[in-house]
Structure 1
């Protein structure tokens, strides 16, 4: 039996003929599961080949690391985080459903709404951030060209960017996969061109002279990289593997996710470390307008190709986010067609972009504060889901994913309690690095002083102590979620699969 749960179906045939995916959160028919593991390369590579990745070199060096420490952090943080995405993606081919529907197995059909809300928020945040980046980059490049870069330019850029993101997301999986395969080549070639044209900006003497940072700073940078790359996508990883054949080995799913997600970011962040370490002025500009600042070191003739490639890469990433945020919205019980859900999230994206671009003086600080806050519960959720997958020997009972009376039940209170406890503990061990610009988030870090890991200086809005900025809470939330599930849920999973 095929489970349908995606709202009204009137006029679906006309929609299908227009090339729009009508499949929502229901199980994918076996006849439609024709994707190969290598097909996963296109969406993940295209979404992560953006030149914005170069700006992360600045953020890594912001922890006060040397060249070799920053290199280690970048490579390990990116690869490990996308490998975790690959593990979650195995669920897609074992269950033929979106990520948040699959997480009903460990949390219960109704209990999944708790992580679902956090997933929806982080997806909305990412896609809005990428739209903001594209809009600001357009204005900066126009200024470098001597063209108009004022309010009118930003408005037009925002409309074009939002329209591209929403149109592709509404069209759905098959259109997105074709689009990403084209964007991979365009953005990849443009990024290679950027590196070739700016390599003379690198000052190896300055970069190699950077002193070593503390071990705590290395851990903090590592967590930041994990959160900014693979952990930023982990809550949607199975959305793109649900069209894979059931016979596909899980190792191939993990390998292609890891390779595709990591390949471009590793190169870009390492190059960004070299650029940021060579120029304090460039590093300072990246904090305010990452992509636009990167354009300032280019020859004028390459600015237009750079702008097009940068916008397309950012749009590519936002499309993945808004497509999945629409699926997450449906998983929360909203009874509308998938294209409508994507459109609603597109409206929210547009409103968020308008606010930040035209009314907010800064966006990077609040965004990073928002990201680390949501990163804690998502890390706890990821630990729970990966452990649950490791405990299961069989494919998911697909009908039970939609039935509160089925084998997964309505609420799995131990899993919910695990996520809540792991998040509360995790939030107590991460700090708001932007106390002045995001003061609403200064409640975090409440366990740091009691545990003797640091002291908050309220007058100046910063923490003292080597461990304060290590953001141990993200790693601890993941570890608690994973270990608690392995220990507490083994019997439950065995009973569900009639192995007890």
Structure 2
């Protein structure tokens, strides 16, 4: 009894401090006070980043023209965030985190398969954002003449990690208020950056960029989709679970899409013009995105630019760590939500220190591993979207936590679909870091047999690479997404009907 009373007092104290104590359980009706337009703030704040401008160089790196890149950017960003919006519908229907709601498609125990993938992706990418924030601080401090060495990196790592951990531990309500403030702050500084660099645009250079083929265009589209909306899709319902039960589904999809897509669509489009105007910017962004963008600014703008860069990266990392904590609990780790966020935050901190100070060469293999996980995540998204499209009723709250309930322990159709689609998908993507992550060069095993590409081994004078029209198109991501949707929509129609009828 004493332990129970202590837990209650601790929860009450946390609530008075504004800390969200709700974990993966269903949100009470009284607490569902959010409206669809509230979704604008977290998605906009997490994506209004000057780092988004640097994506333009990666898009143009496929060898396509400015106009091809512009179409690919706008379409890819809007479509990918619209898919996030569809996943967000599940949050309104069930008022639980994304990975708990996914139990309806995979089974209460079977959900652990995509759950582990989701947790690794969230932890990994948010650690990558923290690393970028630390390295950006060092680069700009060095240009300002304030150092930039080990001490600067240590202080930056501590400050960045502390902000991310504290916000993610505080939870939903504080994060929502924080994101609304960050939206205006980072947005204003980003507008300042555009105003200070617009004179660098050279429309003759932009218009002279040569056009690329269909393979390069598809590859650029896949990059944009995975870099933006699909990168967030596994946590989309986490931010809609506080929505009114009678909230408009179309409004939820619309505000989610508008909030997520508005800033990156504008920023990447501007970045296309900026990178297309200057070959040095185009080449430098791949190695040092933030530092390269900073070279275009006068010295007095560097401090607010650094502030915007760090806060926007922190904003994105906070969303990821908050959600990864929920995913950790859904996998069966029985700890309070704030503690789960703290655990994941500590993992992020240790990962950041390790990569920045111990093994800087680890960054490319690290990215290769995370990109590999993008294929099964795309498959999960296709299955989940199909499952949402098939359902006509809200989720059975109790059954989401009961392996003997209507959703069962395992849904082998969904699990099998994800496994097969992932294997096929890996066969149609390539390892972008072939020299640094040689253990991943098995990817793309279907390209040569299908005549889509050929792997060229590296030599003492050159790096390993793929050649062929569709080698870098990363068709495997689109295949995993579309194939999983089609198979699930056709094969699980009867299952969903039986689940909703309670038989």
Q: Return the TM-score normalized by structure 2.
A: 0.96
2:485 to 482, 486, 492: 482
Deviates more, 1:168-177 or 1:432-441: 432-441
Which residue pairs with 1:220 in the alignment?
219
| Contact 1:288-1:362 at 8 Å conserved across structures | no
Alpha-carbon distance in structure 1 between the residues aligned to 2:310 and 2:322? 18
Which residue pairs with 2:12 in the alignment?
13
Which residue pairs with 2:38 in the alignment?
39
Alpha-carbon distance in structure 2 between the residues aligned to 1:208 and 1:467? 25
Which residue pairs with 2:120 in the alignment?
121
Residues 238-274 of structure 1: per-residue CA shift (max 9 Å, x gap): 0000000010111111000100000000111111111
Which residue pairs with 1:97 in the alignment?
96
* Structure 2: 5+ residue stretches without partners: 1-6
Which residue pairs with 2:474 in the alignment?
471
Which residue pairs with 1:307 in the alignment?
306
Deviates more, 1:95-104 or 1:477-486: 477-486
| Contact 1:140-1:293 at 8 Å conserved across structures | no
Deviates more, 1:255-264 or 1:433-442: 433-442
Alpha-carbon distance in structure 2 between the residues aligned to 1:499 and 1:358? 55
- 2:169 partner SS: helix
Which residue pairs with 1:143 in the alignment?
142
Alpha-carbon distance in structure 2 between the residues aligned to 1:294 and 1:197? 11
Alpha-carbon distance in structure 2 between the residues aligned to 1:155 and 1:48? 26
Alpha-carbon offset, residue 368 of structure 1:
4.2
Alpha-carbon offset, residue 284 of structure 1:
2.3
Alpha-carbon distance in structure 1 between the residues aligned to 2:252 and 2:437? 38
* Structure 1 pair 263–314 and aligned structure 2 pair: CA distance change class (3 A): same
Alpha-carbon distance in structure 2 between the residues aligned to 1:289 and 1:27? 43
| Contact 2:406-2:502 at 8 Å conserved across structures | no
Which residue pairs with 1:492 in the alignment?
495
* Structure 1 pair 170–499 and aligned structure 2 pair: CA distance change class (3 A): closer
- 1:148 partner SS: coil
Alpha-carbon offset, residue 372 of structure 1:
2.6
Alpha-carbon offset, residue 205 of structure 1:
1.1
- 1:11 partner SS: helix
| Contact 2:32-2:243 at 8 Å conserved across structures | yes
Alpha-carbon distance in structure 1 between the residues aligned to 2:326 and 2:498? 29
Alpha-carbon distance in structure 1 between the residues aligned to 2:359 and 2:471? 28
In the comparison of the two structures, how many residue pairs are matched?
Answer: 493
> Map of 1:147-226 to 2, 5 A cutoff?
147-226=146-225
Alpha-carbon offset, residue 344 of structure 1:
0.7
Which residue pairs with 1:280 in the alignment?
279
Alpha-carbon distance in structure 2 between the residues aligned to 1:356 and 1:63? 28
Alpha-carbon distance in structure 1 between the residues aligned to 2:262 and 2:32? 26
Which residue pairs with 2:258 in the alignment?
259
- 2:472 partner SS: helix
Deviates more, 1:271-280 or 1:318-327: 271-280
Which residue pairs with 1:5 in the alignment?
none
Alpha-carbon distance in structure 2 between the residues aligned to 1:364 and 1:350? 15
* Structure 1 pair 221–364 and aligned structure 2 pair: CA distance change class (3 A): farther
Alpha-carbon distance in structure 2 between the residues aligned to 1:91 and 1:476? 23
Which residue pairs with 1:337 in the alignment?
336
- 2:455 partner SS: strand
> Map of 1:44-63 to 2, 5 A cutoff?
44-63=43-62
- 1:267 partner SS: helix
Residues 365-414 of structure 1: per-residue CA shift (max 9 Å, x gap): 43542343111101100000000011110000011000000000000111
| Contact 1:9-1:337 at 8 Å conserved across structures | no
Residues 257-294 of structure 1: per-residue CA shift (max 9 Å, x gap): 10000000011111111111122222222111211221
* Structure 1 pair 428–137 and aligned structure 2 pair: CA distance change class (3 A): same
Alpha-carbon distance in structure 2 between the residues aligned to 1:223 and 1:499? 39
> Map of 1:223-242 to 2, 5 A cutoff?
223-242=222-241
* Structure 1 pair 107–434 and aligned structure 2 pair: CA distance change class (3 A): same
Which residue pairs with 1:132 in the alignment?
131
| Contact 2:355-2:363 at 8 Å conserved across structures | no
Which residue pairs with 1:405 in the alignment?
404
Deviates more, 1:415-424 or 1:13-22: 13-22
Which residue pairs with 2:4 in the alignment?
none
Alpha-carbon offset, residue 364 of structure 1:
5.9
Which residue pairs with 1:374 in the alignment?
373
User: CA-atom RMSD, angstroms?
Assistant: 1.3
Alpha-carbon distance in structure 2 between the residues aligned to 1:64 and 1:371? 24
Residues 210-259 of structure 1: per-residue CA shift (max 9 Å, x gap): 10011100001100110010000000000000000010111111000100
